[in-house]
Structure 1
Amino acid sequence: MDVTTYRPRRAAAATVLALSAALLSACGDDSGPPTITWYINPDNGGQARLAQQCAAAAAGSYQVDVQVLPNDASQQREQLVRRLAAQDSSIDVMSLDPPFVAEFANAGFLRPFDAADATALTQGVLDGPLKTAYWKDQLVAAPFWANTQLLWYRKSVAQAAGVDPAAGTFTWDEMIKAAEAQRKVIGVQANRYEGYMVWINALVVSAGGEIITDVEAGKNAKPAINSPAGNEAARIIGGLARSPAAPPAMSTAGEEEARSAFQGQSGGFMVNWPYVYSAAKESVADGAITQQVFDDIAWARFPRVDAGTPSKPPLGGINLTVGAYTKYPEQALDLVRCATSLPNNIVYMLDSGNPAARGAAYDDAKVREAYPMASVIRESIDEAGPRPITPYYNDVSTSVQITWHPATGVTSPATPEESATFMSDVLHGERLL
């Protein structure tokens, strides 16, 4: 979900078009400028509007046809992989979930950027998304927008519990104790899907570990989740799931279920993406919550595993990539340059609600007005801990999701041990997902 599916209230309906129709649209009119086909993740229409602006700025040298991928990140990957494996030249530009960049690059599906373009496409980009844009020391993706999770809390609950989540050293253990003491719940994403992997990874890397190492070894990469860091992640997840602070049906909860619990009478704390702030505003306008509830909402950096070690918040977002088989590489590159520029980072953030990848965007007056937590978002993205960068990410993520679900059954050290063994077997083809 990527985190690319983490705006369910604002996402447009997914559109899956027939292959023949897409091929025809990509060919363009022989008598006019070429048509660049941009495959996007669903949003509120912001990428389509940006495509029109970039085409206009190109002074007629190309047109842009936007094709919307399925809503689910795994389905987005599957559709693109199948077409690129067939060397589909109609895929010019892709909005790609960062965890899939390594897989696509390793398979030869992406057109790398040269040194000159790499400089322009990475200047001022925050460190978190920048880490996801390379494969084997070559820039293969341009960070477009980024995302991170914050800790959201009800000020009245924190005050009554005598804790300060914004103090900088606030931990998961402190949060669970505070929620239990106030008979409140903690909203998390623990359904068996990518959002759960996001949470598990954030806890592991915040504890100083990794889920898998030696990723360039491919199938021979080494699962590393069976470690002290993995044990800490399991202790926190299983402990919360079996505590009074667990929300109802925690093991089937996604972003919206967590938000609903947080905005309800039992809400105390929540980890979730920045979209929840604007969604809460909408809830006030719809009459779903009161202004008093909205005014009680505050935010802070993702909680720590250890009080003495800064957390590594989750990282999401979208990178733009150029298809390896495009017939129009120069025009595709121009579209990527335009869409990822600093001015358009600001435009898209204000239009879509998705945070910018370039740090300077957060200094814009309109951005800071729309996002009072802009500084926390920027810091969190800059210091985020990406999910494993591996060509076998889908196998790694699914292995973790299977062995760590449901959260009520997660224990330390049994779950990390099982997860490492299962992951290794899957990578070596000895077990199926």
Structure 2
Amino acid sequence: MRTFAVLPLLASVLAGCGGDDAGDGRITLNWYNFPDDSGALQQAADKCSQASGGRYRIIYNRLPRAADGQREQLVRRLAAEDTSVDIMGLDVTWAAEFAEARWIREWTGRAKQQATEGTLRVPLQTATWKDKLYAVPYNTNTQLLWYRNDLVPNPPRTWAEMLDMARDLAQQGKPHYVEIQGAQYEGLTVWFNSLINSAGGSILNEDATEPSLGPPAVRAAQIMRDLANSPAADPSLPNQMEDQNRLAMESGVAAFEINYPFVYPSMRANNPELFKNFRWAPYPRVDADRPSRPTIGGIDLAVSAYSRNPGPAFEAALCLRNRENQLRAALTGGLPPTMRGLYDEPSFIRDYPFAKTVLAALESASVRPITPAYQNVSIAVSHTLSPPAAISPESSVDTIREQIDQALESEGVIP
């Protein structure tokens, strides 16, 4: 049976928590989510509070900026059975762990129907554990290939084509780097997961009971090593995350970038001249005859098992991710929606000219392994494949397999 590590709870963690009553007869619902600088989340909380007709007020509580800090705070509160937590924004890799620990409630009946109706299929997979829905997809995300069409008139379809183009540009003394996440963190796991799924494999088997890996994993590791040891590699590759990739592309040293759509408005604002030649294309394929399957990200909304007001919490969660609020989050915060119909919305397409490319990627996307042991699985991958230049494809995959076996047998604890 899965053993969960319980972090000690400090009294100060719960200090200042709101009660059940807002002081005017309304229920207070505490919503914990990632910190949003666009104002979209606060607007959603305000509008849904108004829409309740005075029955409840939603308080938007900002979690730490880093995903590890977000998870740590939620785990501490839930392990202490904190009743002040009502709605939580979960990273798409956490639902299985939280469900197995019985920290979040299952979505059933009318609430489940409303949560799933019109929602993209792959994001729903991230909110599902053992065929039960434990969260509702709030937003999603996927990587595209971004490139400069003044250097590359036609984008590459495969990783091999991209590396060949990078070599040719390097020989001509032109910008040629492929910016991608090579640091020892979750982004490296995402890169490997996208490659292995694009090669026709997966990290775990369908039941998430043992590693799958095999030849597709070796192929994925080979591509990572080849890039890291080619002229395409930025010298900072072993330390690069998404934002470093964005900055390098904006500085003009790169020809290609594998990243999320947030880079588009950033390039427009920070380098208008280069923006004129900034284009997008589908995530590169491993094989020309097999579609790519980039890994999705995003946030799922879950209702705490310890909430004193689960009924209003489910209702509020559905409101927070409704059509209006998802569209606002997409337009002001750049977060791709999980509702299929919004990809035909003219205002979304106007600000998201790559909407159809994002939708196509989401409809064929892959998810990271869905297992309560995901944190340890991810660490096994990212630690083994760092730095990418030192990867030994077959032996590295063997090491990953051994460490995942240990993680699934609960020989480690959740960090």
Q: Same fold judged by TM-score > 0.5?
A: yes
The 4+ residue runs of structure 1 with deviation greater than 4 A are 429-433
The reply to whether residue 299 of structure 1 matches residue 280 of structure 2 is: yes
Give deviations 1:125-148, integer Å, cap 9, x for gaps: 112201111111111110111100
Q: Which moved more, 1:375-384 or 1:90-99?
A: 375-384
Residue 5 of structure 1 is matched in structure 2 by: none
2: CA distance between counterparts of 1:116 and 1:330? 11
Residue 368 of structure 2 is matched in structure 1 by: 387
Q: Is the 8 A contact 1:312 1:385 kept in 2?
A: yes
Of 138, 143, 146 in structure 2, the residue corresponding to residue 144 of structure 1 is 138
Q: 1:82 to 1:215 in 2, by over 3 A?
A: farther
Of 352, 357, 362 in structure 2, the residue corresponding to residue 376 of structure 1 is 357
Of 26, 32, 53 in structure 2, the residue corresponding to residue 39 of structure 1 is 32
Q: 1:303 to 1:42 in 2, by over 3 A?
A: same
1:383-422 counterparts in 2 under 5 A?
Answer: 383-422=364-403
Q: 1:429 to 1:105 in 2, by over 3 A?
A: closer
Number of residue equivalences: 399
1:337-356 counterparts in 2 under 5 A?
Answer: 337-356=318-337
Q: Which runs of 5+ in 1 are unaligned?
A: 1-15, 284-288
Deviation at 1:249, TM superposition (A): 1.2
Alignment RMSD, CA only?
A: 1.8
Give deviations 1:240-286, integer Å, cap 9, x for gaps: 00111101210100011111222233211111000000111220xxx
Give deviations 1:1-52, integer Å, cap 9, x for gaps: xxxxxxxxxxxxxxx99433342x1433355211100000122232122101
Q: Is the 8 A contact 1:121 1:340 kept in 2?
A: no
1: CA distance between counterparts of 2:317 and 2:76? 23
2: CA distance between counterparts of 1:423 and 1:138? 24
Q: Is the 8 A contact 1:22 1:90 kept in 2?
A: no
2:211 aligned partner, one-letter code: P
Residue 198 of structure 1 is matched in structure 2 by: 190
Q: Which runs of 5+ in 2 are unaligned?
A: 1-9, 171-175
Taking structure 2 as the reference length, the TM-score comes to 0.92
1:62-141 counterparts in 2 under 5 A?
Answer: 62-141=56-135
Q: Is the 8 A contact 1:215 1:390 kept in 2?
A: no
Residue 323 of structure 1 is matched in structure 2 by: 304
Taking structure 1 as the reference length, the TM-score comes to 0.89
Deviation at 1:347, TM superposition (A): 2.0
The reply to whether residue 223 of structure 1 matches residue 211 of structure 2 is: yes
2: CA distance between counterparts of 1:281 and 1:56? 35
2: CA distance between counterparts of 1:186 and 1:318? 28
2:47 aligned partner, one-letter code: Q
Identity of aligned residues (%): 36
Q: Secondary structure at the match of 1:64?
A: strand
The reply to whether residue 164 of structure 1 matches residue 189 of structure 2 is: no
Residue 178 of structure 2 is matched in structure 1 by: 186
Q: 1:319 to 1:178 in 2, by over 3 A?
A: same
1: CA distance between counterparts of 2:138 and 2:410? 35
Identify the structure with the greater helix proportion: 1
Q: Is the 8 A contact 1:26 1:37 kept in 2?
A: no
Q: Secondary structure at the match of 1:180?
A: helix
1: CA distance between counterparts of 2:412 and 2:76? 23
Q: Is the 8 A contact 2:142 2:362 kept in 1?
A: yes
